[in-house]
Chains A and B, each alone.
Chain A
């Protein structure tokens, strides 16, 4: 199994540009999560989906952030326009339904906004 796949692995952009992060969950997993991690704030849950439907987006910082999951094998997190304070590592994770099941993380996208 390839695990959770994220792209790009690194992204450097200028303030005001649109950024799109991509995620392919593990096949058969019905939950998908987007996290942001910084030294100051640790690991923050941004949004999660169950069977492609957004369940809780209360962690999305503001309207500049949006996420979609058009099908079971693909999700995007978009930031438009990007700001320097968005610089962080963005992780995608997936798991099978049930509180006892392991959650698998992708390798993350390291975003730098100049």
Chain B
């Protein structure tokens, strides 16, 4: 079983739609959680951290469920510019490296 699992997609949605991505992680000792965004032929970049109480940044909302070891990302009012791959990332702490999921591809269509 992979440490971080995501639905690879692609998710094809029209502009203005709301779309949700899910991610599960296997290590119950995980301490930190992030969503990274990767545009085609570019490097991954931090989209947002995920906090225990859930957090929002404009049209983006992230949720964490520690009991179920589940993280979600909700994008409201999708824009064409949201088209990218979204990577779920989990950190255990100590000297361990972050673990990246394989990503979920989103294509927003006009």
A: residues with CB less than 8 A from B are 31, 33, 42-43, 45, 48, 50, 55-56, 91, 99-100, 102-103, 105-108
With A43-B87, A100-B32: A33-B42 Cβ-Cβ less than 8 Å: no
Among residues of B, the one whose C-beta sits closest to the C-beta of A55 is B95
Main secondary structure of the interface of A (DSSP, over half): strand
Q: Which residues on B sit within 8 Å (CB–CB) of A106?
A: 43
- Kindly state the separation between the CA atoms of A91 and B87 in the bound complex, as whole angstroms: 15
Give the number of residue pairs across the A-B interface with Cβ within 8 Å. 44
Q: Which residues of B contact A100 (CB under 8 A)?
A: 31-32, 49, 91
Closest-CB distance, A103 to chain B (whole angstroms) = 6
Query: Can you list 24 residue pairs at the A/B interface with Cβ under 8 Å?
Result: A42-B102, A42-B103, A43-B44, A43-B100, A45-B97, A45-B100, A50-B95, A99-B31, A99-B91, A99-B92, A99-B94, A99-B96, A100-B31, A100-B32, A100-B49, A102-B46, A102-B49, A103-B89, A103-B98, A105-B43, A105-B45, A106-B43, A107-B42, A107-B43
Determine if B102 and A43 form an interchain contact, defined as CB atoms under 8 angstroms apart.
yes
Question: A-facing mask of B71-93, CB < 8 A → 1, else 0?
Answer: 00000000000000001010111
Taking CB as reference atom, which chain B residue is nearest A4? B43
Contacts of A45 in B (CB 8 A): 97, 100
Residues of B close to A91: CB separation below 8 A: 43-44
Please give me the 5 A-B residue pairs with the lowest Cβ-Cβ distance, nearest first.
A99-B91, A105-B43, A42-B102, A99-B32, A99-B93
List of A residues within 8 angstroms of B97 by Cβ? 31, 33, 45, 48, 55-56
Question: Which of chain A's residues has its CB closest to B49's CB?
Answer: A100
Q: Considering the complex, give the chain B residue whose CB is closest to the CB of A56.
A: B97
Closest-by-CB residue of B relative to A92 is: B43
